[in-house]
Homo-oligomer: A and B are copies of this chain.
Amino acid sequence: MTVSKTSEKSSEKPADTAKVRKDAAEVQGQASGEALQLGELSEQLGYVLKRAQLKVFENFLRCMASLQLTPAQFSVLLLVEKNPGRNQTEIASTLGILRPNFVAMLDNLESRDLCARIRSTNDRRSHILVLTDKGKAVLARAKKLVATKHEARLNELLGQSNREALLGMLSKIANEF
């Protein structure tokens, strides 16, 4: 196999061997217009999981357009409502949010008068988080939107029992994987 000067110019890329070019020549012009085959990709849990998650978030944002709440913001409001009086570190960490990144989130929610930081009397380093009246009202409306537009869509697509089974399996993965 006379390979004339394995590298004519030193600017060639690592993959630029004769073998690859030969392989490529064999598939040149094949499969012009046809749809691509997903192949094993559609069996990869991570792939399907990620795509499903994107779709769900996308739908969530559409349902919440009138309230301008992201999934993360919604989760903060839910958690603060359920656990009033906790500080930023506690709320952030149970949501998997790092404290530095939680600051801007709270700045946003507080500027919209949805929740408030109150200096704790026990530990004057920390801020206690509470929903404002407006925050409670907005969250109530958000819950209704989620239930009627978002989760309802899921039930309609999967059926009640399947939806519950799905949630159970995802919880198991989230907690025990």
Contact = CB atoms under 8 A, between A and B. Distances in A.
A41 B177 contact: no
Nearest to A93: B36
A86 B90 CA distance: 50
Contact of A36 (B46, B60, B83, B171): B83
A82 B163 CA distance: 33
Given A15-B110, A55-B174, A59-B177, A118 B20 contact: yes
A167 B43 contact: yes
Given A27-B84, A52-B174, A157-B177, A151 B14 contact: no
B27 A47 contact: no
Chain A contact patch, size range: 35 or more
A21 B122 CA distance: 15
A9 interface: no
Contact of A28 (B85, B90, B174): B85
Tallying the copies of this chain within the complex gives 2
Given A79-B39, A86-B36, A174-B52, A24 B128 contact: yes
A159 to B, nearest CB: 10
B27 A46 contact: no
30 contacts: A15-B132, A19-B133, A20-B118, A20-B132, A23-B84, A24-B128, A27-B84, A28-B85, A31-B85, A32-B122, A36-B90, A37-B82, A38-B82, A39-B82, A40-B82, A41-B75, A42-B171, A44-B78, A46-B57, A46-B150, A49-B49, A49-B53, A49-B56, A52-B170, A53-B53, A55-B177, A154-B173, A154-B177, A157-B172, A162-B169
